[in-house]
Every structure is written in structure tokens, then in C-alpha cells.
């Protein structure tokens, strides 16, 4: 999670919400993909931290299936990102802060645990949640203030 937090911090410099993500190989020590929110930086509505990291990990592996991989993200994924996690076959999702306004891993929806889908990753929630929340609180206080 500390690697994901390090990815998140620079996002604010481009006006992006500070969310960071890493995708770890099955050995859980090799980073295959890194991402931070880049919607403002690149003008792409799909440039969420998770999607950026999943794309980089898929390139590193030479294919779209991320079987055995762990995705670590500082904020509970939204519906788009939860769908990308399911579609990429990530085996384990670790997230920090809960997103009560857009969370799709238990807060508003629970996309990744939906039994109607063909893949459901293991979920670990709340890892270093206070650190991720602090980044978000600082960002929104500065932008609303």
C-alpha cells in the first residue's frame, strides 16, 4: 500500500484526485504496473489509477489476464474500475479508504463479489485507510476552499 500511496501523491499536481495503484505479480513483490489518476492530466475519463496500472501490468505480462496478481489501490474502486478488475481476472484486491459516494466494492455496490459474474477476486479492505483518506481530505480542502 505504501507504493500505491507514493503513486497517489503526485496526482494532485495535475489537478487529479490523489489515488494511486500498483499491480503486483503473483510473487507479491514484483510490481507489474503502476498508476495514478490522470483524467485531468491526459483528458481521458477512463484514466483512473486502477485502469492505468492494469494496462501497464497487461503490457508487462504480454496479455490481458492478470491471474494470480494483486491490485493495491488507495481508495475503494468505482464501478468502472471494479469492472476492470473483474474483467482482467485480478486474483486479489487490496484497498485503503472507503468511498461512500462511488465505491463499488461494498459501499454503494459490490461488483467484485457479484455471484452472477464469472470471476470474483479476494478482497482485503481498509489497509492504511487513514493515509489514503488524509491525501483525499487535503486535496478536496484545497480545491473547495
Q: What is the pLDDT of residues 73-125, one digit of tens each?
A: 999 999 999 999 999 999 999 999 999 999 999 999 999 999 999 999 999 99
**Binding site residue list for Zn(2+):** 48, 78, 81
Position 145 pLDDT exceeds 70: no
Q: Contact, 94 vs 73, CB < 8 A?
A: yes
What are the binding residues? Answer: 48, 78, 81
Considering only CA atoms, which of 68, 57, 72, 58 is closest in space to residue 21?
72
Whether 50 is a known active-site residue: answer yes
For residue 70, is pLDDT > 90?
yes
Q: Which of 38, 50, 56, 76 is catalytic?
A: 50
CATH architecture of 1-140: 3-Layer(aba) Sandwich (3.40)
Provide the percentage of residues in the chain whose pLDDT is more than 90: 98
- Mean pLDDT, the chain, integer: 97
Q: Report the alpha-carbon angle 84-19-139, nearest 5.
A: 145
Residues 6+ apart with CB under 8 A from 39: 16, 45, 47, 48
Domain ranges of the chain: 1-140
Amino acid at each position: 500500500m505504501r507504493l500505491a500511496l507514493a503513486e497517489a501523491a503526485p496526482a494532485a499536481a495535475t489537478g487529479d484526485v490523489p489515488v494511486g495503484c500498483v499491480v503486483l505479480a503473483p510473487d507479491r513483490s514484483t510490481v507489474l504496473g503502476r498508476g495514478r489518476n490522470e483524467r485531468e492530466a491526459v483528458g481521458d475519463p477512463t484514466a483512473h489509477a486502477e485502469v492505468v496500472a492494469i494496462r501497464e501490468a497487461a503490457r508487462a505480462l504480454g496479455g490481458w489476464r492478470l491471474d494470480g496478481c494483486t491490485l493495491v489501490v488507495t481508495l475503494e474502486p468505482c464501478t468502472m474500475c471494479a469492472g476492470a478488475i473483474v474483467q482482467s481476472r485480478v486474483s486479489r484486491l487490496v484497498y485503503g479508504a472507503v468511498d461512500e459516494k462511488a465505491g463499488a466494492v461494498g459501499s454503494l455496490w459490490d461488483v467484485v463479489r457479484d455471484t452472477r459474474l464469472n470471476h470474483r477476486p479476494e478482497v482485503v479492505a481498509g489497509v492504511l485507510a487513514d493515509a489514503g483518506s488524509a491525501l483525499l481530505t487535503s486535496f478536496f480542502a484545497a480545491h473547495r476552499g
